[in-house]
Structure 1
Amino acid sequence: MSDALDVRQALPEAHRWLLETYPRLRWHDAELGEVARFWLQMHGGFRQKQAAMAGQVAAWHAGGDLVSLHRGLIPTLQAYLQHLDGHHRVETGHYFPVMRRVEPRITAGIDLLDADHDAIHGQLEALFKAGLGFHQALASGAPDAADHAAHLADALERASRQTDRHLEDEEDIVIPLITRHADAFAH
């Protein structure tokens, strides 16, 4: 099984060892620290934006018009792209180095997550370009605006699939690690 994000079906077993001590069923316990809860809230926000955008695309596919799709989708897409890019920058620049230091055995797992960020960045670039193409086509009255919307919908589906996989895998590494080493992540 490949560890590449675009083909990975689950977090590789070698990176799941912290889940034995801190399984997902315990993540609602009082022992889940502030940073871990915040991390899960951030990820929940990304999932909500993805679901909102998928709903807007579905409404368009069900007979909605391009103007309504644009009005709902483009602002949500912009916020999603900015938020996810910023979140990844903080993780890669701040949290991941701390995690490598406090739990060296998980370094390969953190490296996997960092590689995911690179793959997702490519998806974010594709989403930005597709969103801009749709916006420009609709604003100029181009006859192929629906084609641009379809291209954006496809790019969104691909990006969401990879982002969902990454969010779940990251949580399976990060939440147990933050819980285990709460003092290193206390503010």
Structure 2
Amino acid sequence: MSDAPGDALASRTGLPVGFRYLLDAFPRDRWTTTLDETAAFWLQMHAGFRGHQAHMEGLVGQWRADGDLTTLHRQLIPAVQSFLQHLDGHHRIESGQYFPMMRTIEPKIGPGLDLLDRDHDAIHETLDALFRGGLAFHQAVVGNAPDAADKAARLSDLIAHGARPLARHLEDEEDIIIPLIQLRGLHG
């Protein structure tokens, strides 16, 4: 199923109106109240991804300031590996376990969950590019290749390129999932 105009992750500026009815019933300003344990954990996981993105951007910023390719390699490669592993695992659990359960609890939100699944596909294309960029940078540094700085720049561009779509997805997913958990629970 293709995205409707304005629904594609790369161009979306917010959650489409048709998927906001749960958020309207349980808006973000009420999320400071006691949240269901699963909802709170979901937000904690998303905060971790935001923090990890910021950490990678900080490492790249430091490299751009000091030019220390060795330090960048030593710190960024493990950070990228951890980010890729955690985000991939998180999306697999969501798409494979939580989203199907949520479809039975709240069938009306099925198209919103489809949107989030399409986001996962788009993000995984970015993650694949990030993996390939990280590998190319690692191989260039280990092999003392003359283009190692170019590979670092390419990797840093990939990190920056993936930031906005990831942030958009995390926010939109929260706007569907947190109210759904709070209003409907996960047990039907």
Fold shared, TM-score > 0.5 on shorter chain: yes
TM-score (norm 1): 0.96
DSSP 3-state at the match of 2:66: coil
- Unaligned 5+ segments in structure 2 are none
Comparing 152-161 and 140-149, the one that deviates more:
152-161
| 2:90 paired with 1:91 | no
Aligned position for 2:182: 179
| 2:78 paired with 1:75 | yes
Query: Residue type of the partner of 1:37?
Result: A
Identity %: 58
For each residue in 1:102-156, what CA deviation from the matched residue of structure 2 results, as whole angstroms up to 9, or x when unmatched? Answer: 1011111000000000000100000000000000000000000000001001111
| Counterpart-to-counterpart distance in 2, 1:20 and 1:12 | 12
| Counterpart-to-counterpart distance in 2, 1:163 and 1:184 | 28
| 2:31 paired with 1:27 | yes
Aligned position for 1:115: 118
How many residue pairs end up in the alignment? 184
Query: Residue type of the partner of 1:28?
Result: T
Contact 2:39 2:182 in 1 (8 A): yes
| Counterpart-to-counterpart distance in 2, 1:122 and 1:183 | 30
- With over 3 angstroms needed to count, the CA separation of the structure-2 counterparts of 1:155 and 1:22, relative to structure 1, is same
| Counterpart-to-counterpart distance in 2, 1:56 and 1:184 | 42
* Aligned-residue CA RMSD (Å): 1.0
Runs of 4+ in 1 over 4 A off after TM superposition: none
DSSP 3-state at the match of 1:7: coil
| 2:9 paired with 1:12 | no
DSSP 3-state at the match of 2:187: helix
DSSP 3-state at the match of 1:184: coil
| Counterpart-to-counterpart distance in 2, 1:119 and 1:183 | 26
Quote the offset at 1:183 in angstroms. 4.8
| Counterpart-to-counterpart distance in 2, 1:70 and 1:50 | 16
Query: Residue type of the partner of 2:85?
Result: Q
Quote the offset at 1:38 in angstroms. 0.3
